[in-house]
A = this chain, B = another copy of it.
């Protein structure tokens, strides 16, 4: 396979889907099963150490639906499998997403069984998009939910995403920057996130920069000469406290330059930060901040914060970008209604609530979340309906909120969390009530033959 062959198969291809989507679609096509279906994307249950979800990824999901189409080489690739006939492939080449989407806005706090996104579309369209919709929304929500824990662990601190190199591939690296920014991070080290999403980018030097010079002070001085932004000097390549003294030496010698911070990337961060703070303050450089990184997660950050470590900001990498403790959520995209009839999967441990649904949220007068009600979409209920119309007949109902607006929504949602859900430890689950109408429908379906 040559380079140009491979480039044609970009990750954004609609062939990034499970094969069974296409084999099912051909069967639907053969029987003209084009009646509208309702599918919902939701999380079945939370890991013990996630007290809530922070929803993200809707913008990418909607972009995928709006641009969905098969190019000639993609149709040819399907033909080459020998599984599909020409009438079906001709129809597929013309397929566009013409359905409706209702969804929780990005930055909304959500809980198990609540639809993050509902698709109402002709059965084949709604089926086809399953794999990629889950792939996009699951990942972004996984990372935003992890990032929200970091934000809750370090109130008022600057948090920066450092994880692209160990993220799972290119899209994960880029979209982890977006999801963590949405959750309240200040920015990312991933350069591409700036042009792609307008996210502030951070970063100055690696250990290799220091090591490429014969001595540390030369490296610092050289960097200070060349750099045009806020200067952050990495001081742990050889000996952190000695590095801090070199920063003082340089800052005295070069009053023309402003050193914004030093970074410590290894060792006992709390202890070293105190020692470095002592060196800097003793020399009168109280304005030079301390930034810490290196194997951090929300628990370590919380313990540094609780211990009063004089650290102004944290770079969080791998643990964030792969959501290391729980890299996947039990997320599903399920048929809830077809041809006007509610459907229910009854497999053990995987049963779903049938029908098109809405989430109603009830709040205290302070705005704090009290409980949610999962109800049928067409019933009236107390509380705020959370799913909002996004697409109608394949077209945007209104422009999606900006990333900044979604970030503000997330901040406001995190403030409205009940105190026990803000803990990094497992809390009593938030109450999601099943409306009696929904419970009755499920019972009725269970009594039907199949």
Contact = CB atoms under 8 A, between A and B. Distances in A.
Interface of A: 1, 3, 6, 9-13, 15-24, 26-28, 30-31, 33, 37, 39, 63, 66-67, 73-74, 77-78, 80-85, 123, 127, 130-132, 134-136, 138-139, 142, 162, 164-176, 189-192, 194-198, 201-209, 211-212, 215-216, 222-223, 225-229, 236-238, 265-267, 318, 322-324, 327-329, 331, 333-335, 338-339, 343-350, 449-450
A167 B329 CA distance: 11
B16 A215 contact: no
Nearest to A236: B347
Contact of A168 (B20, B327, B331): B327
Nearest to A30: B226
List 4 tightest A-B contacts by C-beta distance, closest first.
A169-B171, A11-B170, A19-B203, A20-B203
B138 A203 contact: no
Looking at A17, A215, A339, the one whose CB has the most chain B CB atoms below 10 A away is: A17
A166 B192 contact: no
A345 B211 contact: yes
Looking at A18, A67, A74, A138, the one whose CB has the most chain B CB atoms below 10 A away is: A18
19 contacts: A9-B174, A10-B10, A15-B191, A16-B170, A16-B173, A18-B189, A18-B190, A19-B204, A20-B203, A20-B209, A22-B191, A33-B212, A80-B194, A127-B206, A138-B165, A172-B172, A215-B450, A238-B450, A322-B322
Contacts of A23: 203-205, 223, 226-227, 229
Given A9-B174, A19-B201, A77-B195, 19 more contacts: A15-B192, A19-B204, A20-B206, A24-B206, A27-B225, A37-B208, A73-B195, A81-B229, A83-B229, A84-B228, A135-B173, A139-B167, A168-B172, A169-B169, A169-B171, A170-B171, A207-B334, A211-B345, A327-B327
Contacts of A78: 191
Given A20-B206, A212-B123, A225-B30, A131 B6 contact: no
Contact of A267 (B12, B84, B348): B348
Given A222-B27, A322-B327, A194 B37 contact: no
Nearest to A4: B67
Looking at A27, A33, A324, the one whose CB has the most chain B CB atoms below 10 A away is: A27
A18 B208 contact: no
Contacts of A33: 212
A331 B165 CA distance: 9
A159 to B, nearest CB: 16
Contacts of A216: 450
Looking at A195, A196, A222, the one whose CB has the most chain B CB atoms below 10 A away is: A195
Contact of A194 (B77, B197, B205, B348): B77
Nearest to A189: B18
Contact of A169 (B81, B136, B339): B136
B167 A168 contact: yes
Contact of A24 (B166, B189, B205): B205
Contacts of A63: 3, 6
Contacts of A37: 208, 212
Looking at A81, A130, A347, the one whose CB has the most chain B CB atoms below 10 A away is: A347
Contacts of A130: 165, 206, 208
Given A206-B20, A238-B346, A192 B335 contact: no
Nearest to A84: B228
B227 A6 contact: no
A259 B243 CA distance: 70
A191 to B, nearest CB: 5
Given A6-B63, A348-B266, A165 B134 contact: yes
Contacts of A3: 63, 66-67
Looking at A78, A138, A344, A449, the one whose CB has the most chain B CB atoms below 10 A away is: A138
Contact of A16 (B9, B81, B191, B449): B191
A230 B223 CA distance: 62
Given A33-B212, A215-B450, A335-B208, A27 B168 contact: no
Given A24-B205, A130-B165, A16 B192 contact: yes
Contacts of A333: 165
